Structure 1
Amino acid sequence: MLKHRLITALILIPLVIAALFLLPPLGFALVTLAVCMLAAWEWGQLAGFAARSQRIWLAIICGFLLALMMLSVPAYHHSVHPLQISGPLWLSLVWWLTALLLVLFYPGSAALWRNSRPLRLFFGLLTIVPFFWGMVALRQLGYEQNPFIGAWWLLYVMLLVWGADSGAYIFGKLFGKHKLAPKVSPGKTWEGLFGGLVTSAVISWLFGRYVPLNVAPVTLLFCSVMAVLASVLGDLTESMFKREAGIKDSGHLIPGHGGILDRIDSLTAAVPVFACLMLLVF
Structure 2
Amino acid sequence: MLKQRIITAIWLIPLVFGAIFYLPSEFFAWALVGVFLLAAKEWGRIIDPNCQMTQWSFTFTLVILLVALNLLVPVGDIWHSGQLHPIFYAVILLGAIWWLIAMALVLSFPKSAKLWQQSHMLKSLFGQLTLLPCFVSLVTLKSLSSAAEPYFGGILVFLVMLVVWAADSGAYFVGKAIGRTKLAPNVSPAKTIEGLVGGLATTMIVVAIVMNLSPQQELGLVIAVTLFTALASALGDLTESMFKRVANIKDSGTILPGHGGVLDRIDSLTAALPVFTLIYIAFWM
* TM-score category of the 2 structures, normalised to the smaller one: over 0.9
Aligned to 2:195: 192
- Match 1:95 to one of 98, 109, 128: 98
1:170 aligns with 2:158: no
Asked whether the 8 Å contact 2:48–2:54 carries over to 1, the reply is no
Partner of 2:87: 84
1:125-148 deviations in Å (ceiling 9; x for gaps): 000000001101111124253111
2:68 aligned residue: 68
Q: 1:79-133 CA distances to partner (integer Å, 9 max, x unpaired)?
A: 1521221011111111111100000000001111111110010000000000001
After TM superposition, the structure 1 = structure 2 runs for residues 39-58 of structure 1, keeping only pairs within 5 Å, are 39-48=39-48, 50-58=50-58
SS of aligned partner of 1:108: coil
Question: What amino acid is aligned across from residue 260 of structure 1 in structure 2?
Answer: V
Question: For structure 2, which runs of at least 5 residues remain unmatched after alignment?
Answer: none
Spell out, residue by residue over 1:47-71, the C-alpha distance to the aligned partner (whole angstroms, 9 max, x if none).
1252334423322221111111121
Q: CA deviation at 1:8?
A: 1.1
Alignment-derived partner of residue 26 in structure 2: 26
- Counterpart of 2:128 in structure 1 is 125
Q: 1:151 to 1:75 in 2, by over 3 A?
A: closer
TM-score, length basis structure 2: 0.94
2:116 alignment counterpart: 113
* Alignment: residue pair count: 281
After superposition, the Cα gap between the structure-2 partners of 1:93 and 1:213, relative to the gap in structure 1 and judged at 3 Å, is: farther
- AA aligned opposite 1:223: V
Identity %: 44
Supply the RMSD in Å over aligned alpha carbons.
1.6
Name structure 1 gaps, 5 residues minimum: none
**Contact kept? 2:75, 2:143, Cα under 8 Å:** no
TM-score normalised by length of structure 1: 0.95
Output the amino acid matched with 2:161.
Answer: M
Offset at residue 215 of structure 1 (A): 4.3
CA distance 1:81–1:214, change in 2 (3 Å): farther
Give how far 1:74 is off. 4.4
8 A contact 2:144–2:153 mirrored in 1 = yes
Q: What secondary structure, in the 3-state scheme, does the structure 2 residue paired with 1:76 have?
A: helix
Q: Deviations over 1:199-234 (max 9, x none)?
A: 111122113313x49743332222211110000000
User: Is this contact kept in 2: 1:153–1:213, CA < 8 A?
Assistant: no
